[in-house]
Amino acid sequence: MHNPPHPGKVIRDGVFAESGMTVIEFARRLGISRVALSRVLHGHAAVSPEMAIRLSDALGGSAESWLHLQAAYDIWQARQRTIA
């Protein structure tokens, strides 16, 4: 299995690279603080079910797809810790 990206990286590389939207603008669109969004974008916080719903509403796709991205990342990280 490859190293799946954190959902925050997917958002950074997709939303911000394509739209030119700022973190503050996107945080407002999601209805969350800039700090909360920044933590997700930099992989310091996980995408919660609530955040997945907000991302789904703002970007499309399903909330489940955002949670699957987070789960894939978390499982890979856990496997790496058990191997080391």
For the chain, the domains span 7-83
- Per DSSP, 22 falls in state -
Tokens 């789904």: give the residue. 56
CA separation for the pair 14, 2 (Å, rounded): 20
Residue 17 neighbours by CB distance under 10 Å? 9
CA separation for the pair 78, 61 (Å, rounded): 26
Half-sphere exposure of 49 (CA within 13 A, CB side): 0
Residue range 63-83: mean pLDDT, rounded = 96
**Per residue in 7-30, pLDDT tens?**
999 999 998 888 889 999 999 999
* Topology annotation, domain 7-83: 434 Repressor (Amino-terminal Domain) (1.10.260)
Q: What is the mean pLDDT of the chain?
A: 95
